[in-house]
Amino acid sequence: MADSPHIVELNEENFIDVVVENSVNQPVLVDFWADWCGPCKSLMPILEKLAIEYDGAFTLAKLDTEAHPGIAQQLGIRSLPTVKLFKDKQLVDEFMGALPETEVRAFLDKHVSAAEPAEDDEAPQDSTVAQAMALFESGDAEAARTLLQEAQAADPSNADILLALGQICVSTGDLDTASSCLSALPEEAKNGDAANRLTGTIEIAREADTSQSVTSLQAALDADPDNTSIKYQLAIAQALAGDMESGLESLLDIVRKEPGFNEGAPRKKMLALFNVLGADPLVGQYRRKLATALN
């Protein structure tokens, strides 16, 4: 770890003080990593470099999920690297995967105060996105959506607003509006990691049976283990609930046993999940498993 007062190693004893309490004074960027995770090792030097460069504008707090699995489990960390930003004791934004330095800078600049105050009208939009995502994380998706729709009406091609609105629309089941947000993105943003994640999430969500939960689907499958339709819906529900590995494993099992099911939908949904996961190590693992199953 780089030697800097702005970089802190987390553990069970200091997590609340460093991440929650200290976020009242300045933003805290939490990097969830593990030694076996290749993308974590490529992202880590970028985060440390920026923590030093920003010179106290934010604190970089690093959590080794292998050494402290309890914290990672409590926060629902299912893929690595995952980076979460806390301000005023609230989670306000996050990303998964090893983003390039330019994208990490853009992520930070939405939330971290610059050395000089902004003089254009970008700051109100950025602050609106942060406020909306904080509302969303606290469970008020409708208020977050209203806030973003008003911001999007004022600036229809703002990629940050469109992507945030699309994410919230997916969570509320409004997939058509989420797709419209993707279509409205400026060309330079349409192939970015965030757009690819949203595209994959929408594709998965379109297959979901919203009347069923993971628990009810698992119970149905336990009662009828050879029912491929139930297993497929369980895989979709698992993925949408954030359990990507279980979702991928369920889809892979269908590909192995019944590759032609639903015109190859399980394979297509695995590819969609790869987009959602981005640089997560699960992608390489399950790409290899999928190739073996198909060949």
Q: Choosing from 37, 151, 161, 272, which is the catalytic residue? A: 37
* Residues comprising the chain, all counted: 295
Q: Left (φ > 0), alpha (ψ -120 to 50) or beta: where does 117 sit?
A: beta
Q: Choosing from 7, 8, 40, 51, which is the catalytic residue? A: 40
Tokens 């490529």 belong to which residue? 42
Is residue 40 annotated as a catalytic residue, yes or no? yes
DSSP 25-75: TS-EEEEEE-TT-HHHHHHHHHHHHHHHHHTTSSEEEEEETTT-HHHHHHT
CA 231 to chain centre: 25
Contact 38, 281 (CB under 8 A): yes
Encoding tokens for residue 147?
């806030």
Could you list the active site residues? 37, 40
